[in-house]
Chain A
Amino acid sequence: MAPELIFKDGNAGEPLQLIASGSWTAAHAASLEEKIAAIKFEAPGSRRLDIDIAGIGELDTFGAWLLERLSRACIAHGYDARLVEVSGRFRGLLDEMHACSRDKPPLVKQNPILAKLEGLGVAATEFGQDLVRLIDLVGRLCSAIALTFRHPSRFRFASTIHHLDRAGWQALPIIFLITLLIGAIIAQQGIFHFRKFGAGDYAVDLIGILVLRELGVLIVAIMVAGRSGSSYTAELGSMKMREEIDALRTMGLDPVEVLMLPRIVALVCAMPILTFFGSMCALYGGGLVAWLYGGMSPPIYIARLKEVVTVTHFEVGMIKSPFMALVIGLVACSEGLQVAGSAESLGLKTTASVVKSIFLVIVMDGFFAIFFASIGM
């Protein structure tokens, strides 16, 4: 039954009357709100006003709250309002509503410009804190390593092997595939463009040097950051969310030693191996394209590679890779430990972990390039 709200002005001396009837339920709440808003209050005489609810057949919390809101509005307008003809079965609910929200806390209003400025400041200090946290984590990792050297039995060998399997062995197929494709693409582009000035053979120099020095390790680092770094952050983050890390701490175990050291050690071991295989695969892919697309037979490709590639190029790539693994592992763990209670923050931190570690890996690669150039490698 549709709800009704009728306003009746009694004779002078008699109380005003609001007569409510029908179903005061959530389904009709929208129309009820309009009806309540439509009531026009006369001059604020301190007259009595009875809200007669005898006709209400159905009442739920939404309806009860609307009644309560109505009577509060009347009182605010200076009427002496009360509910009359309350049947027994509604009394409890109306009383509950009557007791609610008597004192609303003031909403803190913020100046939008100030809020933007505050956000900027927070982001800036956040950046500084990030660095401090990373350095702090390096320190704790070092002390954990030192402790492990003194008590080698405390090193979590099984856990390290497990992570080595996940971050290294299980990553091989995708690394093979990606680096093979990258090598092939570089070869195709190199041959295509170098041919224009009759230097198609120099594509091999391009492939050999680029892959061994830069691309092999960078592609692998980006893959590892996306694959293992993100999963480290998500694992540690959800453990943080469910107080598992606090539980570890209270048992006298150091989360850095138990959770991070095996992960980071595994990553530092796995990354050079992945880089090696990745580089080889890229060279192989380049060779395939040189043969099928450039018409250079494999023996010639290999001979040419031997001529241009020196051990130095190979070393440059391999030396970089464990450092990149260290950065990825550290960033992933530190972001994981910063996860707060919500699922949203877990997602944010996982994204941040991947973005930050890829950024740092590329910045570090730049510094390595300067360094190797200045020592003549």
Chain B
Amino acid sequence: MILDEACVVAPKPGVRLRFDPVRGRHVLLAPERVLFPCPTTVEILERIPPGGTTIARLVDGLAQEYDAARETIAEDVLALLGQLAKDRLIRVEREDRDVDAAA
């Protein structure tokens, strides 16, 4: 699915981000998968609250924090969340409808 800023992203049950002190980096744990996300992915995942948030709000927060051009951040965030959704690592909902069954 193509994401836009009005989409709501939420953590997916059975997918958990944690820091691994043995390897000295974050790991993303999912059914039958262990992933080693890059620092940007970690930062975005950590900003998604348990109840979900719109992508627009995520972009606002990052633009503020890094004092960077909003469009550049939006582009990166949409691409990254799109990949995470495709890999079934986050849930994506639309504000105007229910949880996407495939997410």
Instruction: Decide whether A and B are members of one complex.
Output: no
Residues of chain A whose beta carbon lies under 8 Å from any beta carbon of chain B:
none
Residues of chain B whose beta carbon lies under 8 Å from any beta carbon of chain A:
none
